[in-house]
Amino acid sequence: MGSTSMQYENEYELWLKKVTKSERAVLCGMRKAEIEDAFCKSLNFGTGGLRGIMGLGTNRMNIYTVSKATQGIADEINEMGNEAKERGVVIAYDSRNSSYEFALETAKVLSGNGIKTYLFESLRPTPELSFAVRYLNCIRGIVITASHNPKEYNGYKVYGEDGGQIPPDVADRIIKYIDEIDIFDDIKVSEKNEFISIGKEVDEAYLAAVYKESLRTEIPNGFQIVYTPLHGAGNLLVRGILDKMGAKNVFVVPEQEEPNGDFPTVDSPNPENAEAFTLAIEYAQKYNADLIFGTDPDSDRIGVVVKTKDGDYKVLNGNQTGVLICEFLLKKLNKTANSKLTIVKTIVTTELAVKIASKYSIDIINVLTGFKYIGEKIKEFEMDNQREFLFGFEESYGYLKGTYCRDKDAVVAAMLITEMAAEYKKQGKNLYDALIDIYKSYGFYEQCLETVKLVGEAGKNKIEELMKYFRDDFKSDMVKQKIDYLNDATGLPKANVLKFIVSNGWFAVRPSGTEPKIKFYFETYSDSQQTAKELMAFLKENVMQRIE
């Protein structure tokens, strides 16, 4: 799917001839370095679909690259036959710039290929798309989103008939079709808007499915929530579930309530970044709120801020929120627990969850990084009937209870977090108190994520060099065991990830799958919080000094 450095000028010249007049003007205004980066290769279609910077060129997210990917999916569906075409595809999109245009173009291409197509009437969360695939009995689902990436990005995620992201074998099949398509001459487009518009009915069914996962905790009078959708797709459904469960005092940050693809109030619309909650905390202090949470643009991730006893607000990391939910669920379910119940987490998510699950005699298993692997386990459990999925989570702020959808869901997480905070408030505690109780019971855990951004071809080469160094040459007396998920027999699919077990902790190294970054994950633990922090500082320094 790639273009060599000698071919990019030919690709550029071809686009000059084929695109519209206004687009040609944009291309003519590009500098040589911009042209080379935009045309040096084709945007890679992987198991997550497409993701990249928006703009003109083969290496960009635009109407043409989206249409080509959609034509490939249409060819794959047509090859399956009339039943698959009649089952059709459901499409959703988030608040990013061009998301609606890309979604509409996707619908037109599918319709142009004689495939039944559903398109949400307005922006919707990614987890609702996952739910809608099975609710409407579709053969595929597509959502236009770049999740929590910066505003320059957009993406195109493809879901299978089980509601989960497509597995590698399906992605490979689609790629073969895409590779045979001419980006300008082979696209079949319907201009008649033959798709079916959907909205309220699916919303109501989705919220009913989410509410089934409620633990029916009564929300005390006066319990105050501050919520920020961070200009994204979460507002309608998050507020819908909060209302359904009886949480009446919900204040939505007005500056961040309306969808806006420029995300004007934040550097990045990512609830992993504490800075994203600056405005929410100001309002929480004003209204003496018990709880703050925020969702990313496609509302599959959620970040949490909790009030402490002294009235300050503390931002939780994804691991902390995950273990709080784990302990809360298992405590509630303990009397009715069965031997099949299983929690699923990723290999870079806290090992504290293992201790918690063990206390309640609940199995916990690891999968590779990425929530799609958690979704795959749901399908696997249903097929072999040996396990029952209870809860899945990852350190990057993704959570799911139940099997109504097959991806992380900030809507169900918002409900569970609210119930949890309300329950502890009735006990005279807040979520931070509950977290400290967990640490006192199981040990104090510290986590840290260090991300190194390395752009361009030089950056790509540097990331490869670093992975090779840590795989082959890294030596330290601290390391007790090295796990190489690319070469070792781990029982998991092969992946370019390394994990090093050290005394009282571990660290892992992996390249990002969606951005030009390499990530270093750290966790340490001890009987005291101070010692855990000291161990973390020592471990981080020992590792990060090697990448200079």
d(CA 158, CA 166): 6
Instruction: Provide the pLDDT for residue 458.
Output: 87
Question: Which two three-digit tokens encode residue 82?
Answer: 């009339």
Q: What is the pLDDT of residues 351-372, one digit of tens each?
A: 999 999 999 999 999 999 999 9
Concatenating the DSSP letter of every residue in 260-318 gives -TT-TT-SS--TTSGGGGHHHHHHHHHHT-SEEEEE-TTSSBEEEEEE-TTS-EEEPPH
The three-state secondary structure class of 118 is strand
Banded pLDDT at 1 (limits 50, 70, 90): very low
Query: Is pLDDT at 3 greater than 60 in this prediction?
Result: no
Helix (H) or strand (E) holding 463: helix 456-468
Domain 207-442 grouped into CATH 3.40.120.10: yes
For residues 1 and 529, the model is more confident at 529
Q: Tell me the CATH number of domain 444-547, given options 3.90.1150.10, 3.30.310.50, 3.40.50.1820, 2.60.40.1260.
A: 3.30.310.50
Q: According to the model, what pLDDT value does residue 457 have?
A: 81
The per-residue pLDDT for 316 is 97
Res. 335 pLDDT band, cuts 50 70 90: low
pTM: 0.95
**Residue 335 DSSP symbol:** G
- Token pair listed for 56: 């003109």
Beta carbons within 8 Å of 527's beta carbon, 6+ residues apart: 443, 444
- Tokens 């950056």 correspond to 459
For range 524-532, the mean pLDDT: 97
In the predicted structure, residue 214 carries a pLDDT above the cut 90? yes
**Amino acid 193: pLDDT:** 83
Instruction: Tell me what pLDDT residue 44 has.
Output: 87
Task: Average the pLDDT over 331-357 and give the result.
Answer: 89
Spatial distance between the Cα atoms of 426 and 423, rounded to a whole number of angstroms: 5
**Average pLDDT rounded to a whole number, residues 55-79:** 97
Does 337 score more than 80 pLDDT? no
Q: Residue 213 above 70 pLDDT? A: yes
Average pLDDT over residues 231-257: 97
User: Which is nearest to 306 in space by CA: 270, 268, 280?
Assistant: 280
Q: What is the pLDDT of residue 456?
A: 80
Looking at the predicted structure, is the pLDDT value of residue 384 above 90? Answer: yes
pLDDT at residue 318 greater than cutoff 60 = yes
With a cut of 60, say whether residue 4 has pLDDT above it: no
- The per-residue pLDDT for 46 is 78
pLDDT at 6: 58
In the numeric block, which tokens belong to residue 173?
A: 């099949």
Same fold, 61-198 and 207-442: yes
Q: Name residue, tokens 């799958």.
A: 513
Share of the chain above pLDDT 70, in %: 98
Least confident piece of the model among 44-48, 140-144, 177-181: 44-48
User: Residue ranges per domain, the chain?
Assistant: 61-198, 207-442, 444-547
Question: Cα-Cα-Cα-Cα dihedral of 455, 460, 462, 464, to 10°?
Answer: 150
Average pLDDT of the chain, as a whole number: 95
Residue 144 in contact with residue 154, Cβ under 8 Å?
yes
Residue 148 confidence (pLDDT) above 60? yes
Instruction: Output DSSP code: residue 218.
Output: P
CATH fold for the domain made of 61-198: Alpha-D-Glucose-1,6-Bisphosphate; Chain A, domain 3 (3.40.120)
Q: Which of 39, 34, 49 is nearest to 18 (CA)?
A: 39
Q: Which amino acid is at 203?
A: D
Backbone angles phi, psi at 318, to 5 degrees: -65, -35
Question: Binning pLDDT at 50, 70 and 90, where does residue 89 land?
Answer: very high
* Burial of 68: CB neighbours in 10 Å, binned 0-12, 13-18, 19+: buried
How many degrees, rounded to 5, is the angle at CA 199 between CA 198 and CA 205?
Answer: 110
Quick check: helix, strand or coil at residue 346? strand
Q: What is each CA distance from 340 to 213, 244, 337, 345, 532, in whole angstroms?
A: 18, 30, 8, 16, 34
CB-CB contact of 247 with 221 (8 Å) = no
Q: What is the mean pLDDT of residues 142-147?
A: 96
Residues marked active site are found at 147
Burial class (CB in 10 A: 0-12, 13-18, 19+), 342: buried
**pLDDT tens per residue, range 457-506:** 889 899 999 999 999 999 999 999 999 999 999 999 999 999 999 999 99
Q: 416: pLDDT confidence band, cut at 50, 70 and 90?
A: very high
**The predicted structure's pLDDT at residue 2:** 47
Q: Which residues pair with 291 in a beta bridge?
A: 225, 306
Beta-carbon contacts of 131 under 8 Å, excluding residues fewer than 6 positions away, are: 163, 202, 205, 206, 209, 404, 405
Residues 6+ apart with CB under 8 A from 244: 207, 211
pLDDT for residue 334 = 67
pLDDT band at 149 (very low <50, low <70, confident <90, very high): confident
Q: Which two tokens stand for residue 312?
A: 């300050």
Convert the pLDDT of each residue in 503-522 to its tens digit: 999 999 999 877 789 999 99
- Percent of the chain beyond pLDDT 90? 89
